[in-house]
Amino acid sequence: MHFLQTILAFAVVLGVLIIVHELGHYLVARWCGVKVLRFSVGMGKVVYSRRFGADQTEWAISVLPLGGYVKMLDAREGDLSDVSPEDLKREFTRQSVWRRIAIVAAGPLANFLLAILVFAGLYVYGIPEPAPKLRAPAEQSVAYQAGLRGGELVTAVNGEPIQIWNDLRWQMVQGVVNNKPVKLDVERANPNFPSEKLISTLTIPVDSISAEELEGDFLVKLGIDLARPRAILGQVVADGPAMLAGLQTGDLVTAVNGVAIPDGMALVEAVRASPGKMLKIDLLRDGKPLSVNVTPEEANKDGQVFGRIKVEVPMVPDMVLASHGPIAALVKGVQKTWDTSVMTLKMVGKMIVGEVSWKNVTGPITIADYAGQTARIGLISYLSFIAFVSISLGVMNLLPIPVLDGGHLLYYAVEVLTGRPVSERFGAIAQRAGIGILMTLMLVAVFNDINRLIS
């Protein structure tokens, strides 16, 4: 079932992004007066097509789903001796260089526009997200050394106000990529007057984190984690270790083997680390202190042995509904798309100079896997994933590699500067080089995908 859902989710992502990208080329080509012969979703042999409109443009589905194209009337692609004088005026290479630039750039720009609209729509709708409230860090962590003690609510990062945990994480990612310390504005209770809030600014160094660690939970390494609810027990499973030891729903666990338990996560960690070992659990029941002994049973998953006592423990953090008006949401959508695009370019640059491993290059298998995972989480996660992939597609297409849109834009930039187009011979050589580069990148991506599956 998961496999079918993954395939369907991937097909929708791919179809939407290809259609949006090619529609950008198509609409601007029509706006510039260029005759469009075919609009294809997919590459290679056409398996289905219909013709529409005054130009009888062929709308087609082709056999290879990884891509698409808009075929325009183009003197470089065949003999035009039988084309009418009126249509010759609509031939692509006869257009001004600025029109050609607009047509080629329209595909990636359409991907950016899709991302902006998706993000803006999500911001208007309102996204239930964890609040950026912090858990107590370990004493040896960077966060503890910077002054965080737990319970703080992060209100701004580097002077930019935030509402949700993902905003905090995103700003921390940028700090790691730029190798710059991150300043957190935090709100905490006044110890002398608990009803009052104190605001302070703390600086978190990030030089201990490499760019390659960004895919993992790098915040935990810094000592930054979500605050969790107190360890108040939920449903106790019948005949499990917790019930046999006398634990009950509503018990508040305060310590395990004399070590304080500040939240549900700490209780889970203590139990998982002690398979088959008796634990002394201190708790409060109806306000009265009690102690019980419980021995976690051994469990095994993916070769890892851990303990469990079969009781529900609250783990859901404080949630906020982050929503904005239409204008503010659109502005945030533009900002999010811009920041993500810049981040993608920086990561590409770091891979080129060797600061980031090429293992970060992903291909269709990984994209399909993430598409399935986000679809199972929910519509908001899935739409966010589509927006991020759309940005990546837009950025990658603008890279100055022959065959890609960015390569053609580079040719036209040379034409603007020199007053004449690049030679056909140079274009043919660059085209072959571009195909070689793309094939190499695809092989690296597929290799990384397969490596992830078997590792």
Concerning whether 86 is annotated as a catalytic residue, the answer is: no
Q: Which residues pair with 255 in a beta bridge?
A: 260, 282
22, 77, 91, 129: which one is catalytic? 22
The answer to whether residues 252 and 230 touch, using CB atoms and an 8 Å cutoff, is yes
CA angle 264–267–271, rounded 5-degree value: 145
* H or E element in which residue 43 lies: strand 36-52
CA angle 333–335–337, rounded 5-degree value: 70
SS3 for 359-383 is HHCCCHHHHHHHHHHHHHHCHHHHH
Give the type of residue at 118. V
CA torsion angle 133 136 139 142 (round to 10): -10
Q: CA nearest 138: which of 35, 23, 266?
A: 266
Q: Is 378 left (phi over 0), alpha (psi -120 to 50) or beta?
A: left
Block residue for tokens 């986000």? 374
Cβ neighbors of 97 (< 8 A, separation 6 or more) are 412, 415, 416
Give the phi and the psi of residue 435 in degrees, each rounded to 5.
Answer: -65, -40
Cβ neighbors of 154 (< 8 A, separation 6 or more) are 132, 133, 134, 162, 168, 184, 185, 186, 187
The answer to whether residues 395 and 345 touch, using CB atoms and an 8 Å cutoff, is yes
Tokens of 390: 């759309």
Alpha carbons 108 and 395: distance in angstroms, whole number: 7
CA torsion angle 327 332 337 340 (round to 10): 180
Q: Which residues pair with 59 in a beta bridge?
A: 39, 50
Alpha carbons 351 and 358: distance in angstroms, whole number: 6
Q: CA nearest 293: which of 241, 234, 245, 231?
A: 245
Residues with catalytic annotation?
22
